[in-house]
Amino acid sequence: MGALQRTKGATAERVVARLIRDWLGLDVRRNWQAQSAEGGADLTGIPGWSIEIKRAKEFRHDWWTQAEEQAAAGGTTPVLIYLLDNSRRGQAIIDRWRAILPLAAFSRFDVDAGLTAEISLRAWIQLARESLPTPAPLPE
Structural domain boundaries of the chain? 3-131
So what's the pLDDT on residue 35?
52
What would the mean pLDDT of 6-16 be, rounded to a whole number? 90
DSSP string, 8-25: HHHHHHHHHHHHHHHHH-
Q: Which CATH class is domain 3-131?
A: alpha beta
Question: What is the CA angle 75-121-134, rounded to 5?
Answer: 60
pLDDT tens-digit map of 124-140: 999 998 888 875 566 66
So what's the pLDDT on residue 36?
44
pLDDT tens-digit map of 69-126: 999 998 999 999 999 998 878 888 899 999 999 999 888 888 888 899 999 999 999 9
Query: In the sheet where 77-84 sits, what is the strand order?
Result: 29-30, 43-44, 49-56, 77-84, 98-102, 116-120
Cβ–Cβ < 8 Å for 26, 17: no
Mean pLDDT of the chain: 87
So what's the pLDDT on residue 37?
44
